[in-house]
Amino acid sequence: MKTQEDLAIAVRRMQQQYERGRMDRDILRGWVLGLSSYPPPHGAAVEALKAWFGQRTPEITPEVRDRDIAMLAAVADLPVARARSGM
């Protein structure tokens, strides 16, 4: 993803698919771990998300799923820096 806006859209889409049971956590985990680095304000939230999903979880409890969703929302809900138009 090239922009913070792209990141927010993609994370929100993945979160929704996961919440609805249309995506397995292992697939989501692979996607999260493949994210690149981002500048503030998304950088720290993306790194925290990657650290969370980087931990192997033997059992996916409702609490783990809730935390997964909250971590995704923390990235998706950050403000997006918009490019200024020269108009």
Angstrom distance (rounded) from CA 66 to CA 87: 43
Q: What is the pLDDT of residue 41?
A: 85
Residues 26-35, mean pLDDT to the nearest whole number: 96
Rounded to two decimals, the pTM is 0.84
pLDDT tens by residue, 32-81: 999 999 888 889 999 999 999 999 888 999 999 999 999 999 999 887 65
Angstrom distance (rounded) from CA 3 to CA 23: 24
**In the structure, what pLDDT confidence band is assigned to residue 19 with cuts at 50, 70 and 90?**
very high
- In DSSP notation, 6-68 reads HHHHHHHHHHHHHHTT-S-HHHHHHHHHT-----TTHHHHHHHHHHHHHS--SS--HHHHHHH
Q: What is the pLDDT of residue 80?
A: 65
Residue with tokens 């409702």: 62
Tokens of 14: 């993945």
